[in-house]
Chains A and B, each alone.
Chain A
Amino acid sequence: MNTVLVANRGEIAVRVIRACRALGLRTVAVYSEADRGAMHTRLADCAVCIGPAAATQSYLSAPALLATARGTGADAIHPGYGFLAENADFAAACVEAGLTFVGPSAEAIRAMGDKVHARERAAALGVPTVPGSRAPVGDTAEAQAVARDVGYPVLLKAAAGGGGRGMRVVRAAGELAAAFAAARAEAEAAFGDGRLYVERFLERVRHVEIQILADRFGAAVQLGERDCSVQRRHQKLLEEAPSPAVTPAIRAAMGESALRLVADIKYENAGTVEFVLDPATDRFYFIEMNTRIQVEHPVTEMVTGVDLVAAQLRLAAGERLPFAQADVTIAGHALECRINAEDPDAGFRPTPGRIARWSPPEGEGLRVDTHVETGAVVPPFYDSLLAKVIAHGRDREAALARMASALARFAVDGVATTLPVHRRILAHQDFVAGGIHTRWVEDELGR
């Protein structure tokens, strides 16, 4: 591997280019017309305009990317996250074109891409999944039987579902018949499909995920967890490692579960296995696997000292994992705040525009991953992530103090950002105490 085409934009393109440079690899940046002059295009060894602003005609255009790789002599493609990162057809097309796809095989992406099948596969391996009916239930009696097995409260969920319609929480057996009828009618009206699943309703859970690395020779390690419970409408805002709710026993069991899945699908490269954790019972349940580098990967890097993007490149080049599980140590505590171009006072509306002033914090134990600088323009076409502020400290308290101080010093003019929300979270007693859950932001900080 000599030359890596970075098929992405924004902070992750900058991050990947930096990792390539550290390994002595040449880089090719690609950009849409809306990103002309962007930081990633200037850091790379060369940059090619691949299309107009619309992502479908630029960053999502496999032909444009593959033609650019061929024309520039690139022999590998790093997809970053988002865009084509979890597109199995694109991964296969790269391989067909004689390029190294920096990520897992197309088969592994496919195996984990179908969420229902991924959960069935996990369950078959003995990895815990949310208890419930395997198939849609036919009537109230059947629903009663499942609910008795898994225990109340249960969630009735439309098989065709989405957006909360056809969903009912049932807290006691006496409420089930009425709720079943209502949910079925709602599902039929909304989706033309009244089939319902019954599963255990998990309240006040945490989102905890395990980072893994695997080579093509069957060796795999887990690098501990990240807690991503601070979310707004399923969008992660802040992540940390280790999780305040994870004990060494949970960590070991969760990590072992993740590695069992990795071994079964012969996964290679970096990946993340996501779980929900019920702190009331210390039980965890597999949700899905993300077959790419994640936005929040730096918190794991800060506590393990492992450069995950460099590891991705080395593993894709066919190298062996350079360390074993026993060599993985977690040192201190790390937090990441995602600073988005969104206006928290206007329902988190995206705020594209020109950055009049960009003055990120600097200091010991701080890292800011960004593609933004003073004068940069945030185009309206892509996601709103401006920067990730990552703080590391010897323990959680030290990391929190460092992050609070960093956020206080971070000055951005020109567009509204989510900085004020992060300052509020960092100062909130519930968060400081470590006792929050995935609905906490909506409950506590409003919409």
Chain B
Amino acid sequence: MDLSYDDVQQILKIIDASSVEELHLEIGELKLVVRKRGSRAEVTETSADPPRAAATREPVAAAPSGPSRQRRAAEGEFELKAPMVGTFYRAPRPGAPPFVEVGSEVGPDDVVCIIEVMKLMNSITIGRRARIVDILVDNAQLVEFGQPIMIVAPA
């Protein structure tokens, strides 16, 4: 049996809405492990993203410190959205090399950035193999909940 990306999204939604903390699913060769704790960013396909900015009024000003650059994901690319409000960091500590650059290829559990919420460092991963197409937010900027922070492509 094939499990599509959409199937996985469906499973994630069901688990998110339930009180289940962890799920191990094995179907033949395929093995899926989902854990609720931690802070995996949501990856959504832009083409499937409802055009909500157009449908509803946007605030007069977005987050003052770091609005995303208005780069939209092209066909076959995805937006990585901030799973929480907080301060976006590209590197594990000041002066250290960034987790990723444009063009970096990452695995499902590789940390691509940190979002700090009141001194709590939340490591953000993509949850699948991917290539970083663009980084939309500058280091140390406030990101909103749901704000696109990177454009990624499946690798």
Which of A33, A41, A44, A45 is within 8 Å of B145, CB to CB?
A33
Per-residue 0/1 for A27-54: is the Cβ within 8 Å of any B Cβ (1 yes, 0 no)?
0010101001100011011111111100
On chain B, the residues within 8 Å of A46 by CB distance are 59-64
Q: In the complex, what residue of chain B is closest to A377 when comparing beta carbons? A: B56
- State whether the Cβ of A257 lies closer than 8 Å to any Cβ in chain B: no
Give the contacts of A327-353 with B (CB-CB under 8 A).
none
Q: With the chains together, A73 CA to B87 CA distance in Å? A: 12
A51 lies within 8 A of B145 (CB):
yes
Per-residue 0/1 for A254-295: is the Cβ within 8 Å of any B Cβ (1 yes, 0 no)?
000000000000000000000000000000000000000000
Q: In the complex, what residue of chain B is closest to A40 when comparing beta carbons? A: B59
| Majority SS at the chain B contact face | loop
- State whether the Cβ of A71 lies closer than 8 Å to any Cβ in chain B: yes
On chain A, the residues within 8 Å of B58 by CB distance are 36-37
B146 lies within 8 A of A33 (CB):
yes
Stretch of B3-11, B30-38, B115-123 lying at the A interface: B115-123
B145 lies within 8 A of A49 (CB):
yes
- State whether the Cβ of A105 lies closer than 8 Å to any Cβ in chain B: no
Give the contacts of B18-72 with A (CB-CB under 8 A).
52, 56-65
Q: With the chains together, A72 CA to B62 CA distance in Å? A: 11
- State whether the Cβ of A70 lies closer than 8 Å to any Cβ in chain B: yes
With most chain A CB atoms within 10 A of its CB, the pick from B52, B116, B117 is B117
B63 lies within 8 A of A66 (CB):
no
| A48 touching B85 in the complex, CB below 8 Å, given contacts A36-B52, A68-B142, A72-B63 | yes
A51 lies within 8 A of B85 (CB):
yes
Give the contacts of A37-95 with B (CB-CB under 8 A).
37, 41-42, 44-52, 58, 62-64, 66-68, 70-73
B142 lies within 8 A of A71 (CB):
yes
A63 lies within 8 A of B117 (CB):
yes
A51 lies within 8 A of B84 (CB):
yes
A47 lies within 8 A of B65 (CB):
no
Which of B52, B60, B61, B65 is within 8 Å of A71, CB to CB?
B65
Rounded to whole Å, the gap between the CB of B105 and the closest CB of chain A is 30
Per-residue 0/1 for B83-122: is the Cβ within 8 Å of any A Cβ (1 yes, 0 no)?
0111100000000000000000000000000001110100
Residues of A bordering B, CB below 8 Å = 29, 31, 33, 36-37, 41-42, 44-52, 58, 62-64, 66-68, 70-73, 97
In the assembled complex, 19 residue pairs joining A and B whose CB atoms fall closer than 8 Å, in A order, are: A36-B52, A36-B56, A37-B57, A41-B59, A42-B60, A45-B60, A46-B59, A46-B61, A46-B64, A47-B61, A47-B62, A51-B84, A51-B85, A62-B118, A67-B87, A67-B117, A68-B85, A71-B86, A72-B63
Q: Kindly list 7 other residue pairs between chains A and B, CB separation below 8 angstroms, not including A33-B146, A36-B52.
A: A29-B59, A45-B61, A52-B145, A63-B118, A66-B118, A71-B65, A72-B65
